[in-house]
Chains A and B, each alone.
Chain A
Amino acid sequence: MDCFILGAGKIGIDLYIKCKKKKFSNIYIFNRNKSSEGAQYCKKKKFNYFYTGVKGLIKKINFNKINCIFDATSSESSVENEKILRPYLKNNFYINLTPSKIGNYTVPYYFLRKIPKKTNLITCGGQSTIPLIIELNKTIKKIKYVELVSSIASISAGKATRENINEYICNTQKAISSLANIKNNKVIINLNPSNPPVNMMNSIFFETKNKLSKIDFFKINKIIKIINKKIKLYIPGYNAKLFSTEKNNIFRVTIRVVGQGDYLPSYSGNLDIITSAAVHLADLIYEKNYN
């Protein structure tokens, strides 16, 4: 299986390195600005790099094979890319890592029976929290409000991330309401400029209709343990922990995500969780189609 990566920013390069560790045959990376920092890095490391953008991708791709196309550009560019790629997607999988609306919302923490042709990996905040929100909403049925606060290290937020803050919030909120079915939700993101950089931290606040009993908290802890185990399969530095609060209808879960340090150091858990999810998804596609 061939992998095609659009965008040579922080996420694109991290994806490239992660794909290389897997058994995919050919990996290509494209962008449109050959003088960018990422492009320089690709050349230096002798990656399969092309500055011809999405049009170059179409020329390179072998349509008889089943391929993965990762879109790690920005929200705006992904819309254009998808338009150009649409006629070619028959045999290929399009994995969207930008916060645009394209594709079906996917968090690959469970085994997917059918992988959609176009998947949307929501956002880093969504990837790290939505599995928990889905599972907790199944067991604790009285959740009426959920709030997600993510803090990421400033240095790990690239150009597109900074421009797409609005899309980040809207996309994560929509994904929570469509995947976890909690319409009343709020998403907040902070960039922390501290040096040395901080790890990615997420706090999820849950508000329930009724008071929570001890049994409820027991169940919550059990679910957190299961999710920790499942997500650790593709991102080992994932760790969720329950905190009770002073009000007995509110509880919070704090999730720390430590990256694997492939391209950027381990504090960039926010990049790692979405690239790891993308590669995990590609892995699932590979297993289904080639085994």
Chain B
Amino acid sequence: MKKIIISDVTLRDGNHAVNHGINLKTIQKYCSFAEKAKIPIVEVGHGNGLGASSLSIGRSVVADNKALKTARSFLKKTKLSIHSIPGFSTFDNIKSAIDCGVDIFRIGCNSTEIDTIIKQVDYCKKNNVETWGVLMMFNLVYYNKEYLKKIKFLKDIGLKTVVIMDSAGCLLPNDVKKIFSSIKKFRLNFGFHGHNNLGCAVYNTIEALNSGATILDASIRGFGAGAGNTQLEVLINILKNKKLIPEINIDIIYQMSENFKSILKNNCLNYVNAFSEPMNILSANFGLFSGFASQVNFFSKKFKISKIEAFKAISKKKLVAGQEDLIMNIIYNLKNKNTVYKKNK
């Protein structure tokens, strides 16, 4: 059996939960802990990855380069990875990330538009860095059964590792089982990244593992976008009991889990435990990106529109990750029934 690799996305996906406010101190503390606990990979960065710090999605408190350099200085055996979405990031961003000492580049985008990653994958390969392909919002290609083509495409452009992201948190264990058993034949290293909107993140991750996935994404206390990610402590505990990851020190992980809240609090990050609020359940139902929750929350309060109605309207437009700027327009239009543009005409 292939070795199982835990990829810790706390410092990247968790950024969604605190409006991209993870600061240097938190990065230092968390990285030194990850190193001690012997977690194989830690991912750092803005919630939407490299170069995504912006007014429309939210500005990172720390610049990409600074965050990566700091993380690098605390990680020795643990590898440093980064998420990158073409459209946000450019070759220049990738270049400077390489200079910061990033080990793994996870290049991805919404599963339907996966052909846009070719150029960045080529660029990474030219620079001899480990490159993975990431299929975000996998539900977009799962329900119309397009996904085998997409995986074949990724294999054809020479990728050896592919991570499947249930960014909407809407897949159920059965779906995950079906996906991973049907893509086994491509003989790639497969990974799974779960979200907990329907309470299935851990179960889905185990199901992915049983059906051939070897890279498992998780975050401490489930700290992540929307209803949160696969909870690291729970996942490690299960894998430990199965004697699958002998090298990881679970006691240190428990310790960190207990301290994590106070670390966030000490760094002025306001965060309550990951929980699937009604709006998170709804967003999964509509197959929307989990990261929309915070923006919907903000604007529905501002314009006094119910979150449920807001999510329904957003689902009609089928917004995808990156279109956070349009959430305000949609909610604004909901309020003024005669839309903005009619007025101008």
Chain A interfacial positions (CB closer than 8 Å to B): 145, 147, 149, 151, 154, 162-163, 165-166, 169-170, 186, 188-195, 198, 201, 203, 205, 207, 228, 239, 241, 243, 246, 250, 252, 254, 256
Contacts and interface: CB of A to CB of B under 8 A. Distances in A.
The main secondary structure of chain B at its interface with chain A is helix
A203 B90 contact: no
A207 B116 contact: no
A193 B320 contact: yes
Interface in B39-86: 52, 54-56, 86
A198 B322 CA distance: 14
A246 B86 contact: no
B335 interface: no
A151 B56 contact: no
Contacts of B328: 243
A186 B322 CA distance: 14
Give the residue among B92, B319, B325 with the most A Cβ atoms within 10 A: B325
Given A166-B119, A166-B120, A201-B326, A191 B113 contact: yes
Given A147-B55, A246-B302, A169 B323 contact: no
Interface residues of B, number: 34
Contacts of B319: 192, 194
A137 B49 CA distance: 30
Given A151-B326, A193-B112, A243-B332, A170 B90 contact: yes
Contacts of B326: 151, 201, 203
Given A151-B322, A188-B52, A252-B55, 8 more contacts: A149-B54, A163-B118, A165-B87, A165-B116, A191-B112, A194-B318, A205-B54, A246-B302
Nearest to B55: A205
A154 B112 contact: yes
Contacts of B86: 165-166
B116 A191 contact: yes
Contacts of A228: 344
Contact of A192 (B56, B120, B323): B323
B340 interface: yes
Contacts of A154: 112-113
